[in-house]
Every structure is written in structure tokens, then in C-alpha cells.
Structure 1
Amino acid sequence: MNKVLSAILLLVGLIHILPITGAFGMQQLSNLYALDKLSASAELLMRHRAILLSLIGLILIMSAFLQALQVSALILAMISVSSFLLLWFLMEAPNAKLSVVAIVDAFALVLLLIASGFYWRLHSTIH
């Protein structure tokens, strides 16, 4: 069960790290999200977002090996994917690439819920 938990944390960590390419400029952001030309401020915010997502990914990957980080990593990642899914759901006519991001985040959320169940089973005093 512990190996499954670690594998899920690694996988969801990789999912969060993949958008790091967006930190390198507008062309990469366009490839990831099919964004039209952004203002310099919006581009800066999107590039910063790519870095923050990667930090969440690194924390998830570290938590696969450091049990002390697991609860925080699970909560952080669930907030990350849930907030994107909520914002995507509320958006009028999201583009196809954003819809792919939503599908990947929904998959990640399911994995995080499974990982949370494994964590609870491993560390619960009630069996």
C-alpha cells in the first residue's frame, strides 16, 4: 500500500511539473494552453504560475519519499487541481487545450483521493 501511495505522489508530481515549459515564454504558453497574445503582465503571471505548479510537483515528489510531507502535499495538490477545475467549470466556452488540462486535473484529483485513502489506511489507529 505504501508503494502505491508513493507511486501516486510521483505521478501527480510529474503532472504538476510538466507545465514548467510555460515559464520559458509566450510560445510555450501558447503550446500548452492555446493562448492568444497576452499582455506583458498576463504573460508574467502565467509564467509565474508555471513555476508555482512545478514547486507543487516537487513537493509531491519529495513527499513520495518523506512521509512527513505527505499530508501537506496531498492537501496542497487537491486545492490546486480542485480550484482549477472549479474555475474551468465556471468559464464560458473554455478552449480545447484548457479542457485537456481539466481532464488531466480531474484524473489527478481522483488519484489524490485514492492516495489520501491509502494514507489514512496506513496511518489510522483504527483498522
Structure 2
Amino acid sequence: MWRNRIARGLLIGVGLVNLAPGVGVLSSDRLEALYGVPVADADLELLLRHRAVLLAAVGAGLVAGAVTPTLRTPAVLVGGASMGSYVALAAAVGGTNEQLTRVAWVDVAALAALGVAAGLGRTRRPVSPVA
């Protein structure tokens, strides 16, 4: 019982981390504040606003997985792929600004929380006696 509650709490927390950048969809000013990158043209604005929508969708999926057990595994997989790919790309590219580096570290912490949630949320199967 307590394991499931902690797992659900962690999933909601990681979901909120992913929902937060969704405010970037509202304006280029918010995007610039979030990422410390000047949004110089409509092309970059479109890409970053679309990223905000996708991150919000991942966050909503994680929150939904916290309350609906059948959605938990897909939500954890998608959230892990999303955050893990950002961390890997940030490491491969290197030399990013302070805000983007902070995003990578937040994702590392969120990935750790996601891993703990996945481990705690697993249902234990009874061990059958060997005949």
C-alpha cells in the first residue's frame, strides 16, 4: 500500500516537472525565459512551442499513469524516453547555456524519481512453491 502511494506521488511530481514547460506554448517571451535562448524567428518559435505542447502531453500522461494503473507502464516508458533522450543529446552536444544545462540536470533527477516510482509500483507476484 505505502509503496503504491509513494510511486504515485513520484509519478505526479515527475509529471508536474514535464507539465511546467507547457507554459512556453503561450508566448515567445515565456520560451526565452524558460530556455535562455532568443526566439529570433517564427521557425524557432514554432519548434519551441511545439516542444512545449509535447512536454505537457508527456506530463499529463505521467499524471494519468499515477492514477490509472493500466496507463502506468506506457507513461513511464514515454517519460523515460523523453527525458533520457534530452539528457543524452545535451551530453552529446555539450556547451549549452546555463538554463539548458539546468533542464538536463532536472531531467536526470526526474529520471531517478521515475525509476524509483517504477520499482515501487511493480506488483509482486507470489512465488509458487516448487513441487
Among 49, 52, 55, the alignment partner of 2:51 is 49
Runs of 4+ in 1 over 3 A off after TM superposition: none
Deviation track 1:97-120 (CA, whole Å, cap 9, x = no partner) reads: 001101110000000111111122
Q: Residues 66-77 of structure 1 correspond to what in structure 2 (within 5 A)?
A: 66-77=68-79
Query: Which residue of the partner structure matches residue 18 of structure 2?
Result: 16
Shift of 1:26: 1.2
Taking structure 1 as the reference length, the TM-score comes to 0.93
- In the comparison of the two structures, how many residue pairs are matched? 125
Contact 2:31 / 2:39 at 8 angstroms: preserved in 1?
no
Shift of 1:49: 0.7
Taking structure 2 as the reference length, the TM-score comes to 0.90
Q: Unpaired segments of 5 or more residues in structure 1?
A: none
Q: Residues 68-107 of structure 1 correspond to what in structure 2 (within 5 A)?
A: 68-107=70-109
Shift of 1:46: 0.6
- Take 1:5 and 1:76, find their aligned partners in 2: how far apart are those partners? 16
- Take 1:72 and 1:11, find their aligned partners in 2: how far apart are those partners? 17
- Take 2:126 and 2:91, find their aligned partners in 1: how far apart are those partners? 37
Supply the AA of the counterpart residue of 2:58.
Answer: I
Shift of 1:15: 0.2
Shift of 1:42: 1.6
Query: Percent of pairs identical after alignment?
Result: 31
Query: Which residue of the partner structure matches residue 118 of structure 2?
Result: 116
Deviation track 1:19-46 (CA, whole Å, cap 9, x = no partner) reads: 0111012110110000123321121011
Question: Aligned to 2:119, what secondary structure does the other structure show?
Answer: helix
Deviation track 1:58-78 (CA, whole Å, cap 9, x = no partner) reads: 111111110000000000000
Name the larger-Rg structure: 2
- Take 1:86 and 1:40, find their aligned partners in 2: how far apart are those partners? 27
- Take 2:38 and 2:53, find their aligned partners in 1: how far apart are those partners? 20
- Take 1:126 and 1:53, find their aligned partners in 2: how far apart are those partners? 37
